[in-house]
Amino acid sequence: MGHNDKSTWGQSHRESTHAIDPIYLNRWSPRSFSEKPVEAEVLHRIFEAARWAPSGSNEQPWRYIVARTPEDRATFLKFIMPGNTAWCDKAPVLALLLSTKLSSRDEPLRSHSFDAGTSWGYLALESVRQGLVTHAMGGFYPDKARELLHIPNEYEVEIVIAIGYQGEKEALSEAYQEREIPNSRRGLEEVVFEGSFGDSLST
Ligand SMILES: Cc1cc2nc3c(=O)[nH]c(=O)nc-3n(C[C@H](O)[C@H](O)[C@H](O)COP(=O)(O)O)c2cc1C
């Protein structure tokens, strides 16, 4: 089935006000992951997309640490907060996104987190194309991650990303089942201004 087939994705109640590629509506952050492992080639493809993100001075400050063996995933689960480990322990792949705070000339890089966010966005969208789901998590202990994964000080620890194939909603605990539904967004008029702050974009 194609990527535009709403019955495949089941997110038909997410509607855009203007015509856009359905991939933006189809990407969402479920918590239920199936046990199906992610093929190495598929995993490489999503990081390939992440690699092509734009960045300030093309510094490409993003770095990813991948955990897919039982040992590596167990290490990751030690620094993820309980509210997230409750569901992300089923994800076959966990990745930690870092960004270097220093440029290749050892100067402070103002846009390191911004650029890492763009890279994560690319990864998330390519994941949809590859039939995967992703879920970013800020709920983890960065200092513990730094210590356990030997991350140098010049790297900011950004987010953990759970990656895998979507599982059955029923596999989640009841509290999470209620939340297993794509959410919506603020209206365009709330986030895009024209001319000066607060002034609506004219039609
Ligand atoms: C930086 C960041 C941190 C997040 N942290 C968490 C988290 O700790 N736990 C969680 O369940 N979801 C987390 N999320 C997921 C967001 O809640 C989710 O992306 C948002 O509600 C929009 O929903 P959608 O991704 O399904 O479109 C995080 C997302 C981002 C981008």
CATH for 27: 3.40.109.10
Q: Using CB atoms within 10 A of its CB, is residue 2 exposed (0-12), middle (13-18) or buried (19+)?
A: exposed
* Residue 77 within a domain: yes
Please give the Cα distance from 195 to 199 (Å, whole number): 7
11 backbone dihedrals φ, ψ, rounded to 5°: -115, 35
pLDDT at 2: 33
| Structural domain includes residue 117 | yes
If one residue of 24, 79, 134, 135 were mutated to test the ligand 1 pocket, choosing by the most ligand atoms within 8 A of its CB, it would be: 135
Domain that holds residue 38: 22-167
Start-to-end CA distance of the chain, whole Å, equals 36
Give the model confidence (pLDDT) of 6-53 as tens digits: 333 344 579 999 999 999 999 999 999 999 999 999 999 999 999 999
Domain assignment of residue 109, yes or no: yes
In the reported structure, the alpha carbon of residue 29 is separated from the centroid of ligand 1 by a whole-number distance in angstroms of 7
Q: How far is the CA of 26 from the centre of ligand 1 (A)?
A: 15
179 occurs within a structural domain? no
Q: Domain for residue 195, yes or no?
A: no
Q: Number of structural domains, the chain?
A: 1
Enter the tokens of residue 17.
Answer: 């006000």
Residues 6 or more apart whose CB falls under 8 angstroms from that of 70 comprise none
DSSP 166: B
Nearest residue by C-alpha to atom 4 in ligand 1: 137
pLDDT in tens, 153-180: 999 999 999 999 999 999 999 999 999 9
Question: Ligand 1 atom 12: the closest Cα is on which residue?
Answer: 137
Residue 176 lies in a domain: no
In a domain, 173, yes or no: no
Atom of ligand 1 nearest to the CA of 30: 26
